[in-house]
């Protein structure tokens, strides 16, 4: 074996032993376990802006604990006490989306600036608590990123949608007591920077998917 081959073999063996790699590590798809409430009328939602966490509770029983993306300082998520008043599984934004020209070309656009047919950005599993503000499916960044809405991971948004109903109380504060317990070691998504699907998909109904696995776990 010549010197070059010996060096290559040595590098390969080090990669194998140390687990190092020049490629990006595979990421586990994010998810949060949800449990069916005993009485849907007793469900309440608590949001911690500081911990970027959502706690769906039935009394002292956690039904769903999950990470969320919050609004930026210039467009903050409102705090206070609210109630769910609107739900829509296939919601589209009325402010941000795409302009579709007559020739079929698609470009990002605000609704007020669209020169062609306007199609709003998908906001699946919309749960509204204040006009223009709600929970919905989206990228869960580890820093303030939204226009005030609360984004939930695509694998979690359908569960949250199923747990809430019109009238469900929502409390949004800087902190919640659950931060020190349920939210202390909360796992967070790592796929927030993944690219969006092609624009042609984003403007089509194909972007709205239905879960193929049960929403609720047994027990607890």
Give the residue extent of every domain in the chain: 40-207
CB burial of 185-214 (b: ≥16 within 10 Å; e: otherwise) equals ebebbeebeeeeeebeebbeeebeeeeeee
Distance CA 194, CA 211 (A): 20
Contact predicate 77/133, CB 8 Å? yes
- pLDDT attached to residue 218: 85
Question: Predicted confidence band at 29 (pLDDT cuts at 50, 70, 90)?
Answer: confident
How far apart, in Å, do the first and last CA atoms of the chain sit? Answer: 61
> How many residues make up the chain in this entry?
220
The string of pLDDT tens digits covering residues 156-172 is 999 999 999 999 999 99
CB atoms inside a 10 Å sphere around CB 9: 11
- pLDDT attached to residue 28: 56
Task: Specify the pTM.
Answer: 0.86
The string of pLDDT tens digits covering residues 62-105 is 999 999 999 999 999 999 999 999 999 999 999 999 999 999 99
Residue 87 β-bridge partners: 127
Is the predicted pLDDT of residue 17 greater than 70, yes or no?
no
Task: Return the DSSP state at 193.
Answer: T
Mean pLDDT across the chain = 89
Is the predicted pLDDT of residue 19 greater than 70, yes or no?
no
Cβ neighbours for 88, distance < 8 A, ≥ 6 positions apart: 126, 128
CB burial of 49-75 (b: ≥16 within 10 Å; e: otherwise) equals bebbbbbbbbeeebbbbbbbbbbeeee
Query: Is 77 exposed, middle or buried, given 0-12, 13-18 or 19+ CB atoms closer than 10 A?
Result: buried
SS3 state at 47: strand
- pLDDT attached to residue 14: 29
SS3 state at 216: coil
Dmax over CA atoms of the chain, in Å, equals 75
- pLDDT attached to residue 8: 36
CATH code 3.40.50.720 for 40-207: no
Distances from the Cα of 107 to the Cαs of 66, 87, 88, 178, 196, in angstroms?
33, 28, 25, 42, 14
- pLDDT attached to residue 219: 74
Is the predicted pLDDT of residue 12 greater than 80, yes or no?
no
DSSP letter string, 109-120: EEGGG-SSEEEE
Q: Which of 4, 144, 148, 152 is nearest to 64 (CA)?
A: 152
- pLDDT attached to residue 99: 97
- pLDDT attached to residue 11: 31
The string of pLDDT tens digits covering residues 91-150 is 999 999 999 999 999 999 999 999 999 999 999 999 999 999 999 999 999 999 999 999
């Amino acid at each position: 074996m010549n010197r070059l081959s010996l060096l290559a073999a040595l590098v390969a063996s080090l990669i194998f032993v140390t687990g190092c790699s020049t490629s990006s590590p595979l990421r586990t798809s994010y998810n949060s376990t949800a449990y069916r409430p005993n009485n849907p009328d007793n469900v309440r939602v608590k949001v911690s802006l500081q911990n970027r966490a959502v706690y769906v509770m039935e009394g002292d029983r956690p039904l769903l604990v999950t990470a969320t993306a919050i609004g930026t300082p210039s467009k903050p998520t409102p705090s206070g006490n609210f109630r769910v008043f609107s739900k829509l599984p296939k919601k589209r934004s009325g402010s941000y989306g795409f302009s579709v020209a007559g020739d079929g070309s698609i470009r990002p656009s605000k609704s007020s600036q669209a020169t062609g047919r306007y199609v709003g950005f998908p906001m699946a599993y919309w749960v509204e608590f204040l006009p223009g503000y709600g929970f919905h499916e989206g990228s869960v960044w580890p820093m303030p990123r939204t226009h005030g809405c609360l984004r939930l991971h695509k694998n979690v948004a359908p569960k949250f949608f199923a747990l809430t109903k019109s009238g469900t109380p929502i409390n949004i504060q800087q902190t919640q007591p659950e931060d020190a317990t349920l939210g202390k070691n909360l796992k967070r998504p790592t796929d927030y920077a993944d690219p969006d699907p092609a624009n042609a998909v984003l403007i089509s109904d194909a972007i709205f998917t239905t879960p193929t696995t049960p929403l609720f776990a047994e027990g607890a």
